[in-house]
Amino acid sequence: MSSRVMPYRGSLVSREQVAVYEFSWPALILIPLVALLVQIFIPVRVRYFPIIDLPFMVTIFFAVARRNPISGCLTGCVIGLMQDLFAGPNHPLGMYGIALTIIGYVASSLGVKIDTENPGSRFLITYVFFVLHQGIYYGVAHGLLRQAQEWSWSHVAISALANAIIGLLVFAFLDRFKEH
């Protein structure tokens, strides 16, 4: 039950103070693991599921809830590397790791400044961060590794929309694990 109040340092929210949540260790470990398992298992049955990125959502959720850039980027790094482990032999470890590290850092930094509790801001955050995530991944694959990558704005936009919608439900579910 550790909850503390962080002094408000931005001007994007009307509140003066932003709550910082913490999570129990089992939740911190099990939620990303379950998200990863679901992510690699469900596409066997559901055709278009891979456009949904549950580990990405979990990273954002922890980052904006804990509002600590260091823990945010560490969480993103661990989840991303775990996602890399299952992505095939032609997918070097670290591609998702780098993308989610940056997402975790930016999300937690932003979480300090804006209210991430209401659905509208959550929708927007997820949408924007998904596009950013895809951009970072593309940059790493294409720029660093010289892999042939396709970039389709329409596909990214639709995927981001789907993730933003699903993200609302996922965040609402994960709110139960917050500790005040």
Partner 1 sequence: MDTFLGRYKNLIVLAAILFAQIIGLAVQVRRPSQVGETRLIRLWAISAVTPIESAVVHAQKWAQHLWTNYVYFRGIRRENRELRAQVEQMKIDSARLNEDARMARRVQSLLEFKEQYVESTMAAQVIGTSGSEQSRVLYIDKGAKDGVKTDMAVITPNGIVGKIVQVFPSSAQVLPINDQFSGVGAVLKDTRLQGILKGSQSGATTLQYIMSDEKVEPGEEVLTSGGDRVFPKGLPVGKVATVEPGKDLFLNIRVVPAARLDQVEEVLVITKITEKMPDAKDLAPIRAADILAERLPTVPTKPGTDAGSAKPSDANSSSASAHSASTGNTPAPTGIPSAGRPTAGTTTVPGVKPSVGTAPGSTPGTTAAGTTGAAKPSTAAGAKPLSTATVPAAAAKPKTVTPTVSAPTNDTTSGATDAQAPAGNNPATPAEKKAQPPAETAPGTSPGQPAKPATTEPPQP
CA pair distance 41, 155, nearest whole angstrom: 23
**Binding region for partner 1 (CB under 8 A) out of 7-15, 123-131, 146-154, 167-175:** 146-154
Could you tell me which stretch among 39-47, 114-122, 124-132, 166-174 binds partner 1 (CB under 8 A)? 39-47
Number of H helices, E strands in the chain: 6, 2
Site string for partner 1, 54-93 (x = CB under 8 A): ---------------xx--xx--x---xxx-xxxxxxxxx
Q: Yes or no: say if 118 and 74 are a contact pair by the CB < 8 Å rule.
A: no
Instruction: Tell me which of 18, 39, 57, 60 binds partner 1, using CB under 8 A.
Output: 39
DSSP run (H or E) holding 18 = strand 17-20
**Judged by CB under 8 A, which of 37, 157, 169, 172 binds partner 1?**
37
Given candidates 59, 116, 159, 163, which one binds partner 1 under the rule CB under 8 A? 159
**97 in contact with partner 1 (CB under 8 A):** yes
Dump the DSSP string for 112-145.
HHS---SHHHHHHHHHHHHHHHHHHHHIIIIIIS
Instruction: Output 1 or 148, the one with its CB closest to partner 1.
Output: 148
Decide if residue 105 touches partner 1 (CB under 8 A).
yes
Instruction: Write out the two tokens for 162.
Output: 């789907």
